[in-house]
Amino acid sequence: MPRVAAIDCGTNSIRLLVADVTVREDGSRWLRDVHREMRIVRLGQGVDATGLLAPEAIERTRAALADYTTVLRRKGAERVRMTATSATRDAGNREDFFGMVRATLGAEAEVISGDEEARLSFTGAVGDLEPEDGPFVVTDIGGGSTEVVVGTWDGVRAEITAARSVDVGCVRITERCLHDDPPTADQRAEAERVVAEILAEAFDAVDVRAARTWVGVAGTITTISAVAQELPEYDSERVHLHRMPVDTVHQVSDRLLAMTHDERAALGPMHPGRVDVINGGALVLRSLADEFAKRAGITELIASEHDILDGIALSLA
């Protein structure tokens, strides 16, 4: 039963999972969480406009990673794997980031392929679901990109049918379109147009018509699930596998988009680092919900706390 550490550094957040991995006789693998943590570091701050990772964003990420390194060593992790957003590879000062990771963690940050990202996210997301509920479509709304993945799960391994990652996420769409708080009607309309246009690339590449169950992962979706349940504070156990009708997705999104910054910040389950970008994520989620209803007749979203981070950990077994 190896103890492993997985780190996923995205455009908006960096997350750590330390877990024990059990491999059963039938080949299936099971994770037991030892430590799970998320911090908002906004690594992608301004990268769309400048093509560079901001020095202060790299420093925020370094501080979080230094703490994570202390935790995983104290917990006795035998193996570690860290993945990083593609924005780090494309940035003009990318070596500032990768050098920082080597110096802090003592390991390389991997910028994995879209296919590998899709496989890891899908495996983590569907692991607690019944294979008979598939085929599944899994969506991951990040800070800078959104992934749409279709596949099946037999209880041991995932089979990916199609996957596509496109460059629209909660940070990108907020910085590009939503300049007022709350956004004006014109800003919202422009954001909806941009989101639909970019997501069309994903739907051109991924045929979702055969999918029966929609699973959503990452902070936008889990936060909207928590708000929909009116939780007094964030509760991962209440969020994991919570089911939301598409009508609820629309209602909560409309509510958030009408709120001021302070009103959103006052919501019990809202992480401070998501207050500024949750509206962008909500618009991406609404567009996905509309497309799945139209293309596959899916009218319900299952929020999952398990995602690419769990897939990374399982890959180390």
- The least confident of 62-66, 162-166, 223-227 is 162-166
- The least confident of 50-59, 147-156, 191-200, 221-230 is 147-156
Query: Residue 85: its pLDDT value, please?
Result: 78
Quote the CA–CA distance of 17 and 6 in Å, as a whole number: 5
What residue spans define the domains of the chain?
3-111, 128-308
Q: How confident is residue 225, by pLDDT bands cut at 50, 70 and 90?
A: very high
Provide mean pLDDT across the span 15-37: 83
**CATH number of the domain located at residue range(s) 3-111 in this protein:** 3.30.420.40
Q: How far is CA 141 from CA 108, 111, 288, in A?
A: 25, 17, 10
Provide mean pLDDT across the span 202-222: 95
206-244: string of b/e by CB count within 10 Å (b at 16+)? bebeebebbbbbbbbbbbbbbbbbebeebeeebbeebeb
pLDDT tens readout for residues 165-200: 888 899 899 999 999 999 999 999 999 999 999 999
Q: Which of 78, 73, 84 is nearest to 21 (CA)?
A: 78
Note whether 3-111 and 128-308 share their fold: yes
Q: How confident is residue 55, by pLDDT bands cut at 50, 70 and 90?
A: very high
Q: How confident is residue 284, by pLDDT bands cut at 50, 70 and 90?
A: very high
pLDDT tens readout for residues 80-92: 999 997 778 788 9
For the domain made up of 128-308, the CATH class stated in words is: alpha beta
Provide mean pLDDT across the span 278-284: 95
Residue showing tokens 């349940």: 229
Q: Which of 185, 198, 165 is nearest to 258 (CA)?
A: 185
Please indicate whether residue 111 or residue 101 has the higher confidence score (pLDDT). 101
Query: Residue 222: its pLDDT value, please?
Result: 96
Query: Residue 28: its pLDDT value, please?
Result: 64
Query: Residue 230: its pLDDT value, please?
Result: 96
The percent of residues above 70 in pLDDT, for the chain, comes to 98
SS3 assignment, position 271: coil
Residue 43 buriedness (CB in 10 A; 0-12 / 13-18 / 19+):
buried
Statement: residue 25 has pLDDT above 70: no
Provide mean pLDDT across the span 264-288: 94
